[in-house]
Structure formats: structure tokens, C-alpha cells
Amino acid sequence: MHSERWLLVRTVLIQTEHLTQLLKAVQQGSMDIDTALNKLRHLPFEDLGFARIDHHRQLRRGFPETIFCEGKTIDQVVAIFESLASQGGNVLATRATQAMYDALLTSGQCAQAQYDTLGRTIVLEQSPLSQSASVLPIITAGTADLPVAREALATAHIMGQRAEILCDVGVAGLHRLLAHLDQIQQANVVLVVAGMEGALASVVGGLVNCPVIAVPTSVGYGASFNGLAALLAMLNSCASGVSVVNIDNGFSAAISATLINRKIEGRI
């Protein structure tokens, strides 16, 4: 049985065991019916008042709900994170601040979480991850694109993808990219993260025989319009097979790459 399918089976078994324990507790009189009903309500989703946590996303999509922290308070992020962690699975939070991470560390359940300052991600790994057979290259045009690339890297890793960043290989010095050409051409899918004019995606698209997911970043001087110039350039790429996600959206790019790679490797 493929490891990804086993992960789904394992999740079902955990939830079945949880139901069994609830029913036994009611039968033995250690839990009243109202308490059991309240716990059952959390199986499909859990209503925190300000958020409804989707605990079944792992079953539907093969990966759990991710917390987008921007715009949320510290208390809200901690409550959502703890709710997801309580199910025993892995948890990813993006666009998180140091203060959010520091607050999480006071929770015994989340004390093992790791924070990436550059990528602004918080990762809690509680379940073993089965690694992809192939490596996902995350290529950046410049060092300034690293925050977006690091978000993509954390996302790919928590989804079970072997991934690595090839940094600062932009069009101003193409020999730097060509030095890694053999490695790039072995991939099933490639991420290209670039700001300014976003030309690197087209270059890579002309060198590989796999899908290229381009991530425009908000890096650049005034006329880059906070990533709009790179976005439009990538959308108008003359290289076939280049798809584009939103500006600075390393998370979505990594999810798309993971889904493609899983299908290719027959893991879902």
C-alpha cells in the first residue's frame, strides 16, 4: 500500500478509535451524553466562534488545513493551531510573526513547533512524513526572493516533498543556473521564484520537459509595481508549460507542485 494511502487509512483509524473511546466512556458512565455529543460535533469541523476548523481536510485532500496568520490576532492563531494539533496530525501556519510563535511555545502541545523567521512559517510535525521519490527544485532569481522560497520550502516539506532551494541564479548571470541544469531536468515539476521583470520563469520553461510553476515576488524598484510587472511577464511567458500563482504566494505554488508530484509518483 502506498504511504500516502496508508496515511489516509491511519487518519480514519485514529478517528474510529476516538469514536470507540467516546462510546465506551458513555457506556461506563465516565462521560455524560451531552459532553459526548459536544465532542462528536468536532469531528467534521470545530466551531471556535471566530473560526471553523476543518478536521476532515486531510481525508479529502491528503493534507490538513493550513493557518494563514496575517490579519489574525495572536490568541486566534494559538487557538486554531492548538485545535489542529489536538488531532495528532502535522500543522503548518504561514505569514506568522515571532510573537505568534512565542505564544505557541507556552502551549505544552505545541512546544515542539519550529519557526522559520525568513519564511514566516510555523511547522509542527507530529506524524511521520513519507518522502517523495523525486526532489522539487525551488529556484530563486535573487537572494531577496528567499522569503517566498522559504515559505514554499516549508510547505513542500510538511506535505512530504523532498525539496531544496537553488538560490540567486537569475538572468543577470545565467551560467549560475546552467551549473544546476542536470539537477533541474530530473525534476517532475519546478518552482521558479522571481521578482523585478520575472524573466527567469521563461528561461527555465525553455530548458525543462516538466511543468514550471512561476511565483512572482514583490521584489524590485518602483516600476515593478510590487510584483505586478513580474506577474504580467510570467503570464505572458513565451515558454510553454509555465503556470503562474499570485504575487508572493509560495504556499500555493508548493501545494500545486505537491499535487502534481504525487500524481506522477502514483502516491494518491
85 or 56, greater pLDDT: 85
Residue 226 has pLDDT above 90, yes or no: yes
Report field, pTM of the whole predicted structure over 0.85:
no
Per-residue confidence (pLDDT) for residue 20, from 0 to 100: 75
Give 3-state DSSP helix, strand, coil % of the chain, rounded to 5: 45, 15, 35
Percent of all residues in the chain with a pLDDT value above 90, rounded to a whole number: 60
Least Cα distance to 254 among 92, 90, 126 occurs for 92
Weakest-pLDDT range from 59-68, 192-201, 246-255: 59-68
pLDDT digits (tens, 9 = 90+) for 11-60: 444 555 666 777 888 888 888 887 776 666 556 666 677 777 777 676 66
Comparing 78 with 20, which gets the higher pLDDT? 78
How far is it, in rounded angstroms, from Cα 94 to Cα 119?
8
93-110 confidence digits (pLDDT tens): 999 999 999 999 987 778
